[in-house]
Amino acid sequence: MRDRAIIHSEGWKAEMKNHLAKSKWILSAVAVTMAIAVLNGCGKNDNEASPAAVSPSSSNAGSGDKSLKKVTFAYAGGTCEAPIYTAIEKGFFKEEGLDVELVQMDFETLKSGISSGKVDGTVGNFAWFKPIEQGLDVKVTGGLHAGCIQLVAPKGKGISTLQDLKGKKIGVDVIGGGPQITLSIALKQNGIEPTDIDWRAYPSQQLSTAADKGDIDAFIVWDPAAQQALDTGNFVRLLSNGHDEPFKSGYCCYSVVSGAVTKKDPEKAAAITRALLKSAEWVGNNAAETAQIETDKKYVPADAATNEKLLKSYHWKPGVINAKKNAEFFIKEQKAQGILDASTDEKELLDRLFFEAIPDYNGN
């Protein structure tokens, strides 16, 4: 999923202050931009209204089965949120005794809803860790896949490796989001500090145009926007968390459940987790059908061929044990970058954000 809102720590803001003064956005506006971005799993449709409920025909609402537990699930509209869509359309939620209402909403609505238990679950990513550090009561319960973030640059502009990015203007959909965190980790591994980059924020569907105009030199974003740029033949891929380490062996998207649900009804949290992980496994084996569902049901603003190509490129490996290990990795990396507070106890944060609703999934 595309993320979505990171509220910067003072350390992060201090580190970036001088650099951001050169940029074309104002820090006070950044907080607003980030606030509407945390939810977005991957490839949010920037033109869709929010919140908006999915039509009854695509959910179990109104089924009349009183034995099913009501669940409210939030989504953004990205390709990699496929486990949500197929859990509804293929009946995985219902098999777990869940009657799901699916709603599309911005982060501010989600933040109050999921922390209070009015929203039961969603698909999220490692950019949630900062809000959780600051007290947002949500839990990661499992990992779904790796993939869905790509860094691309226009061909013929002298940028072909990560080393070429130092001092360049890099576009992201939101400052502090998953794509920026991903690239910052990769840059540090190549001897480049995040402060050596001129970060520019644009709506995801405008990044390609900004690159064509020369306003940015490259951009990193959630699918499908980066793949759509690559498909024009005018861009080259420099990084993919579905192809490159240390990302492809981990996860970018997790099952996320309200903390209120884990306390009041841990079996509901377990049922949500099992349904999503089972659905993720199904998606990995049925990319073509999943892509058609995403397009036909209008969950994702991309054609079926694009969705299928992306889904096949992801590493679908639903699990619990390795997901917790991967969360530990991203906590450590975000603390090193100053996104998480220097005083944060990494183990305490991991214990607070990860809830073992089920012990494992097929041994993982």
Paired tokens of 205: 């569907």
Give whole-number Cα distances, 319 to 53, 140, 157, 270, 303, in Å.
29, 12, 41, 13, 29
- Kindly list the averaged pLDDT for each block of 10 residues, start to end, along the chain of length 364: 42 44 36 40 44 37 65 91 98 98 80 81 94 95 97 97 98 92 95 96 96 98 93 97 95 96 96 99 99 96 94 97 98 93 98 98 96
Residue 123 CA to residue 86 CA, distance in Å, equals 13
Quickly count: other Cβ atoms within 10 Å of residue 233's Cβ: 8
8-state DSSP, 71: E
Give whole-number Cα distances, 221 to 148, 171, 229, 287, 338, in Å.
8, 8, 11, 21, 21
Paired tokens of 84: 């949500």
pLDDT at site 194: 94
- Contact indicator for 355, 139 with CB cutoff of 8 Å: yes
User: Which residues are within 8 A (CB) of 135 and not within 5 positions of it... i.e. 6 or more apart?
Assistant: none
Using the Cα atoms of residue 326, residue 332, residue 334 and residue 337 in order, give the sign of their dihedral: negative
Give whole-number Cα distances, 317 to 26, 146, 189, 322, 361, in Å.
39, 8, 25, 9, 10
**Selection from 136, 138, 76, 73 nearest residue 106 by Cα:** 76
pLDDT at site 55: 35
pLDDT at site 314: 97
The overall pTM is greater than 0.85:
no
Helix (H) or strand (E) holding 186: helix 178-189
User: Which residues are within 8 A (CB) of 171 and not within 5 positions of it... i.e. 6 or more apart?
Assistant: 200, 201, 202, 207, 210, 211, 215, 216, 218, 219, 220, 221
8-state DSSP, 327: H
pLDDT at site 53: 44
Residue 237 CA to residue 226 CA, distance in Å, equals 9
Helix (H) or strand (E) holding 213: helix 207-213
Paired tokens of 120: 């039961």
pLDDT at site 107: 65
* 274: phi then psi, degrees, rounded to nearest 5: -60, -45
Quickly count: other Cβ atoms within 10 Å of residue 97's Cβ: 15
* 122: phi then psi, degrees, rounded to nearest 5: -165, -175
Q: What domains, with CATH codes, occur in the chain?
A: 52-147+250-353 (3.40.190.10)
Residue 38 CA to residue 260 CA, distance in Å, equals 19
